[in-house]
Amino acid sequence: MGTLYLLRHGQASLGAQDYDQLSELGHRQCQMLGAYWRARQMRFDAVLCGGLRRHAQSLAAVKEGLMPDTALTPQVWPGLNEYDSEALIRSVVGDVAPLERPQSAEAARAYFRLLREGLRAWISGQTQPAGMISYADFRAGVAAVLTHVREHCEGQVLLVSSGGPIACAIAQVLALPAESVIELNLRLRNSAVSELTFNAKRLALQTFNTLPHLDTPEAAQLISAA
């Protein structure tokens, strides 16, 4: 029986011109996760990673915490890349002026309300956001990664991705309705780890959305969700 560790990237740059970049906090979160695993002598037999910069940067920060000479050469899987949140929101509000970047708590709440609406319409097949694949294809890309893990991996496997693919993976393992992906997705915190046990025939959920590396009063201030 193997264990698949699903890591959501550290905090990215919500509200900045380029979201696909870890913030200083995001780097610290993943570095601390690596240090947590180092203290427990964690070693990974395989590493799977999405192709976005925040995925690669998160993995690099984990490696820093584990030990700089730790071998963490990933297999890059496009099926682990996140959906385009701006395209989803534009599918709801239309192709208007540049979208307001959420620089305040109120703007962030409005942003996530629209994102939730866009996700619901995309998942149900009511919309096809510009430049995006269908949700059925998105789901199939995630399923292909899970099949690869079952059929070709063993031991401890690290997967670095984003909230959307991780939520989709967990929903598939639990055979949840498609809309459950939205709730799982929006609950996942930065640098959170979920665990699946696996063998050649099946995967099973062990833990969801945990932050063991930030579970101290001193580190609590480093917890973030967006």
Low-confidence spans in the chain with pLDDT less than 70: 14-17, 96-103
Q: How would you classify the pairing of strands 156-161 and 203-210? A: unpaired
Residue whose C-alpha is closest to residue 47's, from 137, 143, 145: 145
Answer for the pair 10, 38: CB distance below 8 angstroms, yes or no: no
Q: What is the DSSP letter of 96?
A: -
Q: Tell me, what's the pLDDT at 96?
A: 66
Q: Tell me, what's the pLDDT at 103?
A: 67
- What are 14's two structure tokens? 């919500």
Q: Tell me, what's the pLDDT at 161?
A: 98
Number of Cβ within a 10 Å radius of residue 103: 11
C-alpha dihedral over 190, 178, 165, 219, to 10 degrees? 10
Residue whose C-alpha is closest to residue 10's, from 1, 19, 2, 67: 19
Q: Which domains does the chain have, with CATH numbers?
A: 2-82+133-222 (3.40.50.1240), 84-131 (no CATH)
Query: In the Cβ-directed half-sphere of 175, how many Cα atoms lie within 13 Å?
Result: 3
